[in-house]
Amino acid sequence: MYKVTSEIYEETNYNPVKGSNGRVLSKFKFNYPPEDEISASSSGTIVDKDGDLVVRRKSDSKRAGVIKIEHSEATELRLVGLQVWRGALLLADYIFHKRAEFRGKVVLELGAGVGLTSIAAAIYAQQVVCTDVNVGGILDLIRENVKHNVELLQKPNTIDVLELDFLKPVKEFSPALLAAINNCDVVVAADVIYDDDLTNAFIRVLDALFEHGRLSGKDKTAYIALEKRYVFTLSEMDTVAPMFEYFLKQSMHKAWLLEYIETDFPQYFDYDRCRHLVLMKVTHAK
């Protein structure tokens, strides 16, 4: 059986500890963002939000944290959610960067994998609903990862774990999931675009979320992170990113507003933020 491995494990040492179940427990280190709003004045002097001079001292240091994640090191393609991918870390960085916008919000993560981004979001959000299709025991694994990191959360029950299968029609979603869809303010998804059928299903789910928002009067904002995977194709006689381009093609006629977010915001997590990473903000057109 052909297996794939996330590149991040070779690029960064996450101090993995092998368990008896064949998985590893890794430590994803991060720096907390400074909680004081500090900006530079036109003269370059650093001031706080009240305009008072801020003096940097040598003792000033970044407060560090760790998200502990149990995951697989290699899987077949249908079980890639059991690994950690770069898009999840990029999305976690963005949530930290825009933490003021996530405070007090209900966040719904689609295709959450092992739950790293949901855990990062739960450091700031009021509530997080972490979802994925229940294959390979992934929902139980997410629940274990939440337990590993409960001390980081706003409160112990900040994260709910529910099944959401992109391939199921919305009418078959559980009452708890439908309630979460109606209540959420922000939708996030990382590295869920790697298969044409799943991409089509993901687009249908986004459409359903936006429609629920329109009907309920609670509009949704979606953030989608992914890494472009480039291949050389004979049909194009060029190097292309077919999965990303397929997503754009299938969604171009949707009543969506798609905005590319520059990925030059601060990096809080330890990983290689490569130039092929993409972050998009998607909302429903009025």
In the prediction, which pLDDT does 241 show? 72
**Which residue is it, tokens 């229940």?**
134
CATH code of the domain covering residue 251: 3.40.50.150
Range of the domain at 99: 78-284
60 lies in a domain?
Answer: no
155 lies in a domain?
Answer: yes
| Segments in the chain below pLDDT 70 | 1, 36-61, 230-240
135 lies in a domain?
Answer: yes
In the prediction, which pLDDT does 53 show? 47
Q: Is 281 helix (H, G, I), strand (E, B) or coil?
A: strand
pLDDT digit string, tens, across residues 30-76:
999 987 443 333 334 444 555 544 444 433 457 899 999 999 999 99
The structure's pTM equals 0.88
Q: Which residues pair with 260 in a beta bridge?
A: 280
In the prediction, which pLDDT does 35 show? 73
**Are the CB atoms for 50 and 41 separated by under 8 Å?**
no
In the prediction, which pLDDT does 236 show? 45
Element (H, E) at 213: helix 196-216
In the prediction, which pLDDT does 234 show? 41
**CA-to-CA dists, residue 226 to 38, 140, 145, 229, 250, angstroms:** 30, 25, 22, 9, 16
Average pLDDT along the chain? 88
In the prediction, which pLDDT does 230 show? 60
In the prediction, which pLDDT does 245 show? 92
Rounded CA gap, 146 and 126, in Å? 15
Number of domains in the chain: 1
Rounded CA gap, 136 and 126, in Å? 29
42 lies in a domain?
Answer: no
In the prediction, which pLDDT does 57 show? 41
pLDDT digit string, tens, across residues 128-142:
999 999 999 999 999
61 lies in a domain?
Answer: no
116 lies in a domain?
Answer: yes
DSSP string covering 40-55: E-TTS-EEETTS-B--
In the prediction, which pLDDT does 39 show? 36
In the prediction, which pLDDT does 40 show? 34
